[in-house]
Amino acid sequence: HLSQRLQTVADFVRPGARLADIGSDHAYLPVYLAKNGVITAAIAGEVVTGPFENAVREIRDEHLTGVIVPRKADGLAAIKPDDNIDTITIAGMGGTLIAEILEQGKARLTHRERLILQPNVGEDNVRRWLQANQYGIVAERILAEDGHIYEIIVADPLDEPVQYSADELTFGPFLLREKSPILKDKWRREQMRLDEVIKTMQQADHAPVDKIQEFKAQRQRIQ
């Protein structure tokens, strides 16, 4: 079975989907979805040799060679027009990297695909990219597993531009409304981290006054 994190990503893949899982490593996500009859076809994209070989082995061991194609490629370069991909998952990396992969691979997008993104940190970069590229967030999840807090962002193409507030970009439009204990815990941890940074700066010989003010403002915004 999948981790709760990947299961939550899987839950947003619609039946019959043609999936591209970018940064697939062991290809656990497409393998699970194929074994459960959710997806019709998948590409497991990987840029690094070791993880790519993990994907190749897993797909072969699970006898899914006809359904899941492993491709060694950088980001969305794993996708070819003939694949008719309608769903892209990118999970388990920083939000900056996810946004970079989407930006660099823009030419491969048809603007018809559902994007299911699971940044480990820097979620605001992902939301900003979605906003700039006319994808609307349709669902968000936050969960705690093995001492980490994970967010999942689901976005579908929009006909009209969308504008999120600064708070929505940082905290997530759905998560902000839901205000779950996990969200509060996540941002309480971030406040504690900022407190440590502020304390360290205040103890410095030449305390950087402007920086301290900036971090205090960040802390206040979270509050």
**Minimum separation from the CB atom of position 47 to ligand SAM (A):** 4
Name which of 73, 70, 41 is nearest 56 in CA terms. 70
Name which of 13, 47, 48 is nearest 30 in CA terms. 13
Q: Residues 30, 45, 95, 172: which binds ligand SAM (CB under 6 A)?
A: 45
Provide the terminal-to-terminal Cα distance of the chain, rounded to the nearest Å.
38
Task: Select from 41-49, 138-146, 158-166, 190-198 the region that touches ligand SAM (CB under 6 A).
Answer: 41-49
Q: Residues 8, 25, 126, 137: which binds ligand SAM (CB under 6 A)?
A: 25
Task: Select from 20-28, 144-152, 169-177, 183-191 the region that touches ligand SAM (CB under 6 A).
Answer: 20-28
Q: Does 30 bind ligand SAM (CB under 6 A)?
A: no
Rounded Cα–Cα distance for residues 215 and 221 (Å): 10
Q: Which residues pair with 136 in a beta bridge?
A: 156
Nearer to ligand SAM, 69 or 101 (CB): 101
Rounded Cα–Cα distance for residues 135 and 157 (Å): 4
Nearer to ligand SAM, 55 or 198 (CB): 55
Q: Does 47 bind ligand SAM (CB under 6 A)?
A: yes
Coil, helix or strand at residue 77: helix
Residues between 71 and 110 that touch ligand SAM (CB under 6 A): 74-75, 91-93, 97, 101
Give the strand order in the sheet containing 17-22: 68-72, 39-46, 17-22, 87-93, 114-119, 148-157, 135-145
Nearer to ligand SAM, 75 or 173 (CB): 75
Q: Residues 51, 70, 95, 172: which binds ligand SAM (CB under 6 A)?
A: 51
Q: Does 172 bind ligand SAM (CB under 6 A)?
A: no
Nearer to ligand SAM, 51 or 172 (CB): 51
Size of the residue set binding ligand SAM (CB under 6 A): 17
H helices of the chain, in order, are 4-11, 28-35, 49-61, 95-104, 123-132, 166-171, 173-178, 181-202, 209-222
Which residues are at the interface with ligand SAM (CB under 6 A)? 6, 22-25, 45-48, 51, 74-75, 91-93, 97, 101
